[in-house]
Amino acid sequence: MSAIKKVVLAYSGGLDTSIILKWLQDQYGCEVVTFTADVGQGEELEPARAKAQAMGVKEIYIDDLREEFVRDFVFPMFRANTIYEGEYLLGTSIARPLIAKRLVEIANETGADAISHGATGKGNDQVRFELGAYALKPGIKVIAPWREWDLSSRESLMEYARTHNIPVDFAKAGKKSPYSMDANLLHISYEGGGLEDPWWEPEEDMWRWTVSPEKAPDKPEYIELTYRKGNIVAIDGVEMTPATVLAKLNVLGGKHGIGRLDLVENRYVGMKSRGAYETPGGTIMLKAHRAIESLTLDREVAHLKDELMPRYASMVYNGYWWSPERLMLQTMIDESQQYVNGVVRVKLYKGNVTIAGRKSDDSIFDANIATFEDDKGAYNQKDAEGFIRLNALRMRIQAGKGRKLK
Protein backbone atom coordinates (compact mmCIF):
# COMPACT_ATOMS: atom_id res chain seq x y z
CA MET A 1 0.00 0.00 0.00
CA SER A 2 1.45 3.35 -1.04
CA ALA A 3 2.29 5.83 1.72
CA ILE A 4 1.21 8.59 -0.68
CA LYS A 5 -2.46 9.40 -0.11
CA LYS A 6 -2.76 12.69 -1.96
CA VAL A 7 -0.66 14.35 -4.71
CA VAL A 8 -0.82 17.86 -6.18
CA LEU A 9 -0.17 17.65 -9.93
CA ALA A 10 0.92 20.54 -12.13
CA TYR A 11 -1.74 19.91 -14.77
CA SER A 12 -2.29 21.44 -18.20
CA GLY A 13 -5.03 19.13 -19.43
CA GLY A 14 -2.89 18.04 -22.38
CA LEU A 15 -1.86 14.54 -23.36
CA ASP A 16 1.13 14.17 -21.05
CA THR A 17 -0.39 15.46 -17.83
CA SER A 18 -3.72 13.71 -18.45
CA ILE A 19 -1.83 10.44 -18.63
CA ILE A 20 0.19 11.36 -15.55
CA LEU A 21 -3.04 12.00 -13.67
CA LYS A 22 -4.34 8.49 -14.44
CA TRP A 23 -0.93 6.92 -13.85
CA LEU A 24 -0.73 8.49 -10.39
CA GLN A 25 -4.20 7.23 -9.53
CA ASP A 26 -3.31 3.69 -10.63
CA GLN A 27 0.36 3.47 -9.63
CA TYR A 28 0.05 5.11 -6.22
CA GLY A 29 -3.64 4.50 -5.54
CA CYS A 30 -3.84 8.11 -4.39
CA GLU A 31 -6.13 11.08 -4.68
CA VAL A 32 -4.90 13.68 -7.16
CA VAL A 33 -5.36 17.43 -6.80
CA THR A 34 -4.83 19.30 -10.07
CA PHE A 35 -3.26 22.73 -10.34
CA THR A 36 -3.33 24.72 -13.58
CA ALA A 37 -1.44 28.02 -13.63
CA ASP A 38 -2.38 30.93 -15.85
CA VAL A 39 0.92 32.73 -16.42
CA GLY A 40 -0.26 34.30 -19.65
CA GLN A 41 0.14 31.38 -22.04
CA GLY A 42 -2.89 32.60 -23.97
CA GLU A 43 -4.84 29.33 -23.84
CA GLU A 44 -8.34 28.63 -22.58
CA LEU A 45 -7.81 26.88 -19.23
CA GLU A 46 -11.36 25.92 -18.28
CA PRO A 47 -11.28 22.74 -20.46
CA ALA A 48 -8.63 21.47 -18.03
CA ARG A 49 -11.25 21.63 -15.28
CA ALA A 50 -13.71 19.52 -17.28
CA LYS A 51 -11.03 16.93 -18.10
CA ALA A 52 -9.97 16.68 -14.48
CA GLN A 53 -13.57 16.29 -13.33
CA ALA A 54 -14.10 13.54 -15.90
CA MET A 55 -11.21 11.66 -14.33
CA GLY A 56 -12.67 11.89 -10.85
CA VAL A 57 -10.66 14.80 -9.48
CA LYS A 58 -12.46 16.51 -6.60
CA GLU A 59 -10.05 19.37 -5.82
CA ILE A 60 -9.20 21.47 -8.87
CA TYR A 61 -7.16 24.68 -8.79
CA ILE A 62 -7.02 27.03 -11.78
CA ASP A 63 -5.18 30.16 -10.69
CA ASP A 64 -4.64 33.44 -12.51
CA LEU A 65 -1.01 34.20 -11.61
CA ARG A 66 -0.25 36.74 -14.33
CA GLU A 67 0.19 39.79 -12.12
CA GLU A 68 2.21 37.91 -9.52
CA PHE A 69 4.34 36.39 -12.27
CA VAL A 70 5.35 39.73 -13.76
CA ARG A 71 5.47 41.74 -10.52
CA ASP A 72 7.39 39.26 -8.33
CA PHE A 73 9.42 37.28 -10.85
CA VAL A 74 9.83 38.96 -14.25
CA PHE A 75 10.34 42.52 -12.99
CA PRO A 76 12.92 41.57 -10.32
CA MET A 77 14.84 39.63 -12.95
CA PHE A 78 14.83 42.57 -15.36
CA ARG A 79 16.00 44.93 -12.62
CA ALA A 80 19.18 42.86 -12.82
CA ASN A 81 19.35 43.13 -16.67
CA THR A 82 19.44 39.34 -16.74
CA ILE A 83 20.61 37.43 -19.81
CA TYR A 84 21.77 33.80 -19.91
CA GLU A 85 24.79 33.04 -22.12
CA GLY A 86 24.68 36.48 -23.66
CA GLU A 87 21.29 36.16 -25.38
CA TYR A 88 18.51 34.23 -23.60
CA LEU A 89 16.00 36.27 -21.58
CA LEU A 90 14.97 33.24 -19.47
CA GLY A 91 11.28 33.17 -20.32
CA THR A 92 10.70 29.52 -19.38
CA SER A 93 13.10 29.52 -16.44
CA ILE A 94 11.48 32.40 -14.57
CA ALA A 95 7.98 30.86 -14.56
CA ARG A 96 9.08 27.67 -12.80
CA PRO A 97 9.75 29.04 -9.30
CA LEU A 98 6.27 30.56 -9.20
CA ILE A 99 4.66 27.25 -10.21
CA ALA A 100 6.78 25.41 -7.63
CA LYS A 101 5.71 27.90 -4.96
CA ARG A 102 2.04 27.44 -5.76
CA LEU A 103 2.37 23.63 -5.85
CA VAL A 104 3.76 23.70 -2.32
CA GLU A 105 1.08 26.14 -1.12
CA ILE A 106 -1.68 23.90 -2.48
CA ALA A 107 -0.04 20.84 -0.92
CA ASN A 108 -0.14 22.65 2.43
CA GLU A 109 -3.75 23.76 1.92
CA THR A 110 -5.00 20.30 0.95
CA GLY A 111 -2.82 18.17 3.23
CA ALA A 112 -1.16 16.47 0.25
CA ASP A 113 1.81 14.16 0.78
CA ALA A 114 3.52 14.91 -2.52
CA ILE A 115 3.65 17.04 -5.64
CA SER A 116 4.11 15.88 -9.22
CA HIS A 117 5.12 17.45 -12.54
CA GLY A 118 5.39 16.48 -16.20
CA ALA A 119 8.99 17.54 -16.82
CA THR A 120 11.18 14.95 -18.49
CA GLY A 121 14.45 13.56 -17.17
CA LYS A 122 16.40 15.30 -19.92
CA GLY A 123 15.40 18.88 -19.25
CA ASN A 124 16.02 21.77 -16.92
CA ASP A 125 12.45 22.07 -15.67
CA GLN A 126 12.64 19.00 -13.42
CA VAL A 127 15.52 20.69 -11.60
CA ARG A 128 13.74 24.03 -11.35
CA PHE A 129 10.48 22.58 -10.03
CA GLU A 130 12.15 20.34 -7.50
CA LEU A 131 14.81 22.73 -6.19
CA GLY A 132 12.04 25.26 -5.62
CA ALA A 133 9.81 22.73 -3.88
CA TYR A 134 12.56 21.50 -1.57
CA ALA A 135 13.60 25.05 -0.69
CA LEU A 136 10.03 25.92 0.31
CA LYS A 137 9.05 22.59 1.94
CA PRO A 138 12.11 20.47 2.75
CA GLY A 139 10.23 17.25 3.48
CA ILE A 140 7.99 17.30 0.41
CA LYS A 141 7.86 14.16 -1.73
CA VAL A 142 8.25 14.78 -5.47
CA ILE A 143 6.94 12.31 -8.04
CA ALA A 144 8.42 12.69 -11.54
CA PRO A 145 6.68 10.08 -13.73
CA TRP A 146 9.07 10.50 -16.67
CA ARG A 147 11.82 9.17 -14.41
CA GLU A 148 9.71 6.22 -13.25
CA TRP A 149 7.52 4.85 -16.02
CA ASP A 150 8.43 3.02 -19.23
CA LEU A 151 6.45 5.28 -21.58
CA SER A 152 9.02 6.80 -23.92
CA SER A 153 7.22 8.15 -26.99
CA ARG A 154 4.10 9.99 -28.08
CA GLU A 155 2.78 6.75 -29.57
CA SER A 156 3.16 4.91 -26.27
CA LEU A 157 1.42 7.77 -24.47
CA MET A 158 -1.52 7.66 -26.86
CA GLU A 159 -1.78 3.89 -26.53
CA TYR A 160 -1.85 4.27 -22.74
CA ALA A 161 -4.62 6.86 -23.09
CA ARG A 162 -6.70 4.53 -25.28
CA THR A 163 -6.19 1.54 -23.00
CA HIS A 164 -7.19 3.45 -19.89
CA ASN A 165 -10.04 5.47 -21.45
CA ILE A 166 -8.37 8.77 -20.71
CA PRO A 167 -10.37 11.68 -22.20
CA VAL A 168 -7.95 12.96 -24.84
CA ASP A 169 -8.76 14.52 -28.20
CA PHE A 170 -7.03 11.80 -30.24
CA ALA A 171 -7.53 13.61 -33.53
CA LYS A 172 -5.69 16.59 -32.13
CA ALA A 173 -3.14 14.57 -30.18
CA GLY A 174 -2.42 12.40 -33.20
CA LYS A 175 -1.30 15.43 -35.18
CA LYS A 176 2.26 15.47 -33.97
CA SER A 177 3.37 19.06 -33.54
CA PRO A 178 6.86 19.54 -34.95
CA TYR A 179 7.82 21.53 -31.86
CA SER A 180 7.63 21.35 -28.12
CA MET A 181 6.35 24.80 -27.12
CA ASP A 182 6.10 26.66 -23.84
CA ALA A 183 4.45 30.06 -23.50
CA ASN A 184 3.84 32.63 -20.81
CA LEU A 185 3.57 36.43 -20.67
CA LEU A 186 7.32 36.81 -21.13
CA HIS A 187 7.95 34.52 -24.08
CA ILE A 188 7.14 31.53 -26.23
CA SER A 189 9.75 28.85 -26.84
CA TYR A 190 10.16 26.21 -29.55
CA GLU A 191 12.24 23.03 -29.30
CA GLY A 192 12.41 19.73 -31.15
CA GLY A 193 11.45 18.97 -34.74
CA GLY A 194 13.74 20.49 -37.32
CA LEU A 195 15.37 22.62 -34.62
CA GLU A 196 17.32 19.55 -33.51
CA ASP A 197 19.56 20.21 -36.53
CA PRO A 198 21.56 23.35 -35.59
CA TRP A 199 22.16 24.12 -39.30
CA TRP A 200 18.45 24.15 -40.16
CA GLU A 201 16.64 27.49 -40.37
CA PRO A 202 13.07 27.39 -39.04
CA GLU A 203 10.25 28.16 -41.43
CA GLU A 204 8.58 31.53 -41.13
CA ASP A 205 5.22 30.11 -40.02
CA MET A 206 6.81 28.65 -36.87
CA TRP A 207 6.82 32.07 -35.22
CA ARG A 208 3.56 32.89 -33.42
CA TRP A 209 4.00 36.31 -31.81
CA THR A 210 6.19 38.32 -34.16
CA VAL A 211 6.04 39.28 -37.81
CA SER A 212 9.30 38.93 -39.71
CA PRO A 213 11.37 42.11 -39.65
CA GLU A 214 11.13 42.21 -43.44
CA LYS A 215 7.32 42.41 -43.21
CA ALA A 216 7.21 44.81 -40.27
CA PRO A 217 5.85 48.34 -40.83
CA ASP A 218 8.03 50.65 -42.92
CA LYS A 219 7.43 53.48 -40.47
CA PRO A 220 9.07 53.40 -37.01
CA GLU A 221 6.95 53.71 -33.88
CA TYR A 222 8.02 55.69 -30.83
CA ILE A 223 6.89 54.85 -27.30
CA GLU A 224 7.73 56.36 -23.92
CA LEU A 225 8.29 54.12 -20.91
CA THR A 226 8.06 55.56 -17.40
CA TYR A 227 10.24 53.95 -14.75
CA ARG A 228 9.84 53.95 -10.99
CA LYS A 229 12.51 52.16 -8.92
CA GLY A 230 13.61 50.16 -11.93
CA ASN A 231 10.14 49.01 -13.02
CA ILE A 232 8.00 50.23 -15.91
CA VAL A 233 4.84 51.76 -14.48
CA ALA A 234 3.41 53.53 -17.56
CA ILE A 235 3.50 53.43 -21.35
CA ASP A 236 3.02 56.75 -23.14
CA GLY A 237 1.93 58.26 -19.84
CA VAL A 238 -0.80 55.70 -19.17
CA GLU A 239 -0.28 53.93 -15.82
CA MET A 240 -0.52 50.14 -16.07
CA THR A 241 -0.14 47.08 -13.88
CA PRO A 242 2.99 44.93 -14.40
CA ALA A 243 1.17 42.23 -16.40
CA THR A 244 -0.57 44.84 -18.56
CA VAL A 245 2.76 46.55 -19.26
CA LEU A 246 4.32 43.32 -20.50
CA ALA A 247 1.27 42.32 -22.54
CA LYS A 248 1.22 45.74 -24.23
CA LEU A 249 4.94 45.60 -25.01
CA ASN A 250 4.51 42.10 -26.47
CA VAL A 251 1.94 43.44 -28.93
CA LEU A 252 4.08 46.45 -29.88
CA GLY A 253 7.25 44.41 -30.20
CA GLY A 254 5.56 41.63 -32.15
CA LYS A 255 4.12 44.16 -34.59
CA HIS A 256 7.64 45.40 -35.39
CA GLY A 257 9.36 42.00 -35.60
CA ILE A 258 11.25 42.42 -32.32
CA GLY A 259 12.45 39.68 -30.00
CA ARG A 260 13.27 36.61 -32.10
CA LEU A 261 16.16 34.43 -30.97
CA ASP A 262 17.70 31.20 -32.28
CA LEU A 263 20.06 29.76 -29.67
CA VAL A 264 22.15 26.71 -28.83
CA GLU A 265 22.31 26.78 -25.03
CA ASN A 266 23.96 24.70 -22.32
CA ARG A 267 21.42 22.90 -20.17
CA TYR A 268 22.13 22.40 -16.49
CA VAL A 269 21.84 18.61 -16.86
CA GLY A 270 24.87 18.65 -19.17
CA MET A 271 23.70 18.59 -22.78
CA LYS A 272 23.50 21.30 -25.41
CA SER A 273 20.04 22.16 -26.68
CA ARG A 274 18.89 24.26 -29.61
CA GLY A 275 15.79 26.38 -29.13
CA ALA A 276 14.02 29.33 -30.71
CA TYR A 277 12.39 32.04 -28.63
CA GLU A 278 10.11 35.03 -29.07
CA THR A 279 10.42 37.64 -26.32
CA PRO A 280 9.19 40.91 -27.86
CA GLY A 281 8.22 42.78 -24.69
CA GLY A 282 11.23 41.56 -22.75
CA THR A 283 13.61 42.68 -25.49
CA ILE A 284 12.20 46.21 -25.27
CA MET A 285 12.31 46.14 -21.47
CA LEU A 286 15.96 45.14 -21.30
CA LYS A 287 17.12 47.84 -23.71
CA ALA A 288 15.06 50.55 -22.03
CA HIS A 289 16.09 49.57 -18.52
CA ARG A 290 19.76 49.82 -19.37
CA ALA A 291 19.05 53.26 -20.85
CA ILE A 292 17.45 54.64 -17.70
CA GLU A 293 20.20 53.11 -15.58
CA SER A 294 22.82 54.84 -17.74
CA LEU A 295 21.49 58.16 -16.45
CA THR A 296 20.84 57.26 -12.84
CA LEU A 297 23.37 54.64 -11.65
CA ASP A 298 26.81 55.35 -10.28
CA ARG A 299 29.58 53.98 -12.53
CA GLU A 300 30.91 51.40 -10.06
CA VAL A 301 27.41 50.27 -9.10
CA ALA A 302 26.54 49.75 -12.78
CA HIS A 303 29.76 47.86 -13.44
CA LEU A 304 29.33 45.68 -10.36
CA LYS A 305 25.80 44.80 -11.48
CA ASP A 306 27.17 43.79 -14.89
CA GLU A 307 29.83 41.60 -13.28
CA LEU A 308 27.31 39.82 -11.07
CA MET A 309 24.57 39.47 -13.69
CA PRO A 310 25.91 36.25 -15.29
CA ARG A 311 25.93 34.59 -11.86
CA TYR A 312 22.38 35.79 -11.23
CA ALA A 313 21.32 34.53 -14.68
CA SER A 314 22.77 31.09 -13.97
CA MET A 315 20.86 30.96 -10.69
CA VAL A 316 17.60 31.64 -12.51
CA TYR A 317 18.36 29.25 -15.37
CA ASN A 318 19.49 26.42 -13.12
CA GLY A 319 16.57 26.67 -10.71
CA TYR A 320 18.06 28.47 -7.71
CA TRP A 321 15.48 31.26 -7.51
CA TRP A 322 14.70 30.42 -3.87
CA SER A 323 18.35 30.01 -2.90
CA PRO A 324 19.98 32.26 -0.26
CA GLU A 325 22.54 33.50 -2.79
CA ARG A 326 19.86 34.69 -5.25
CA LEU A 327 17.90 36.36 -2.47
CA MET A 328 21.06 38.08 -1.25
CA LEU A 329 21.85 39.34 -4.75
CA GLN A 330 18.27 40.52 -5.22
CA THR A 331 18.52 42.65 -2.11
CA MET A 332 21.62 44.34 -3.51
CA ILE A 333 20.06 44.77 -6.96
CA ASP A 334 16.86 46.25 -5.56
CA GLU A 335 18.84 48.68 -3.41
CA SER A 336 20.57 49.89 -6.59
CA GLN A 337 17.19 50.73 -8.13
CA GLN A 338 16.09 53.39 -5.63
CA TYR A 339 16.93 56.22 -8.04
CA VAL A 340 16.23 54.39 -11.31
CA ASN A 341 13.32 56.68 -12.14
CA GLY A 342 12.43 58.59 -15.28
CA VAL A 343 11.29 58.21 -18.87
CA VAL A 344 12.88 56.40 -21.81
CA ARG A 345 11.83 57.10 -25.39
CA VAL A 346 12.21 54.03 -27.60
CA LYS A 347 12.04 53.62 -31.37
CA LEU A 348 10.70 50.30 -32.70
CA TYR A 349 11.59 49.52 -36.29
CA LYS A 350 11.98 46.29 -38.27
CA GLY A 351 13.30 44.05 -35.52
CA ASN A 352 15.31 46.75 -33.78
CA VAL A 353 14.90 48.57 -30.47
CA THR A 354 16.69 51.92 -30.51
CA ILE A 355 16.92 54.34 -27.62
CA ALA A 356 15.78 57.75 -28.86
CA GLY A 357 15.97 59.63 -25.56
CA ARG A 358 16.01 59.36 -21.80
CA LYS A 359 15.36 61.80 -18.94
CA SER A 360 15.18 61.66 -15.17
CA ASP A 361 14.88 63.97 -12.19
CA ASP A 362 17.39 61.62 -10.55
CA SER A 363 19.90 61.83 -13.38
CA ILE A 364 23.57 62.12 -12.41
CA PHE A 365 24.51 63.14 -15.94
CA ASP A 366 25.82 66.70 -15.55
CA ALA A 367 25.84 68.58 -18.85
CA ASN A 368 27.82 71.44 -17.26
CA ILE A 369 30.72 69.06 -16.67
CA ALA A 370 30.39 66.81 -19.72
CA THR A 371 30.01 69.64 -22.28
CA PHE A 372 32.52 70.09 -25.11
CA GLU A 373 31.82 73.80 -24.93
CA ASP A 374 33.04 76.24 -22.25
CA ASP A 375 32.27 74.60 -18.89
CA LYS A 376 33.02 77.83 -16.98
CA GLY A 377 35.43 76.05 -14.66
CA ALA A 378 33.14 73.20 -13.65
CA TYR A 379 35.91 70.74 -14.55
CA ASN A 380 39.63 71.51 -14.18
CA GLN A 381 41.38 69.69 -17.01
CA LYS A 382 44.74 70.08 -15.26
CA ASP A 383 43.53 67.61 -12.62
CA ALA A 384 43.74 64.84 -15.23
CA GLU A 385 47.53 65.03 -15.34
CA GLY A 386 48.04 63.89 -11.75
CA PHE A 387 45.25 61.32 -12.11
CA ILE A 388 46.99 59.74 -15.09
CA ARG A 389 50.49 59.82 -13.56
CA LEU A 390 49.31 58.13 -10.35
CA ASN A 391 47.46 55.43 -12.26
CA ALA A 392 50.55 54.85 -14.39
CA LEU A 393 52.90 54.67 -11.38
CA ARG A 394 53.06 50.88 -11.03
CA MET A 395 53.63 50.45 -14.76
CA ARG A 396 56.32 53.15 -14.78
CA ILE A 397 58.11 51.38 -11.91
CA GLN A 398 58.10 48.03 -13.73
CA ALA A 399 59.29 49.63 -16.96
CA GLY A 400 62.07 51.33 -15.02
CA LYS A 401 63.21 47.91 -13.79
CA GLY A 402 63.54 46.79 -17.39
CA ARG A 403 60.63 44.37 -17.39
CA LYS A 404 59.57 43.51 -20.90
CA LEU A 405 55.97 43.73 -22.09
CA LYS A 406 54.88 40.88 -24.34
| Contact by Cβ (8 Å): 204, 248 | no
Is the domain spanning 6-66+93-176 CATH 3.40.50.620? The answer is: yes
Q: What is the pLDDT along the chain (406 residues), one digit of tens a residue?
A: 478 999 999 999 888 999 999 999 999 999 999 999 999 999 889 999 999 999 999 999 999 999 999 999 999 999 999 999 999 999 999 999 999 999 999 999 999 999 999 999 999 999 999 999 999 999 999 999 999 998 877 788 888 888 888 877 655 555 556 888 999 999 999 999 999 999 999 999 999 999 999 999 999 999 999 999 999 999 999 999 999 999 999 999 999 999 999 999 999 999 999 999 999 999 999 999 999 999 999 999 999 999 999 999 999 999 999 999 999 999 999 999 999 999 999 999 999 999 999 999 999 999 999 999 998 999 999 999 999 999 999 999 999 999 988 7
> How far apart, in whole angstroms, are the C-alpha atoms of residue 87 and residue 370?
32
Contacts with 52 (C-beta within 8 Å, 6 or more apart), sequence order: 11, 13, 21, 34, 60
3-state DSSP assignment of residue 35: strand
Give the start-end residues of each E strand in 27-78: 31-38, 60-64
3-state DSSP assignment of residue 371: coil
Q: How far is CA 30 from CA 3, 9, 114, 147, in A?
A: 9, 12, 10, 19
Contacts with 47 (C-beta within 8 Å, 6 or more apart), sequence order: 13
Instruction: Quote the pTM value.
Output: 0.95
- Active-site positions read 16, 96, 125, 180
- Interior/surface letters 378-395, b for 16+ CB within 10 angstroms, e for the rest: eeeeeeeeeeeeeeeeee
| Contact by Cβ (8 Å): 340, 227 | yes
Quick one: which of 193, 108, 142, 139 has its CA closest to 10?
A: 142
Domain ranges of the chain: 6-66+93-176, 182-297+339-359, 368-400
Determine the CATH number of domain 182-297+339-359: 3.90.1260.10
The percent helix, strand, coil of the chain (3-state, each to 5) is: 45, 20, 35
| Contact by Cβ (8 Å): 231, 75 | yes
> How far apart, in whole angstroms, are the C-alpha atoms of residue 109 and residue 106?
5
Helices and strands per DSSP (H, E), number in the chain:
14, 14
| Contact by Cβ (8 Å): 225, 219 | no
> How far apart, in whole angstroms, are the C-alpha atoms of residue 282 and residue 250?
8
> How far apart, in whole angstroms, are the C-alpha atoms of residue 100 and residue 92?
13
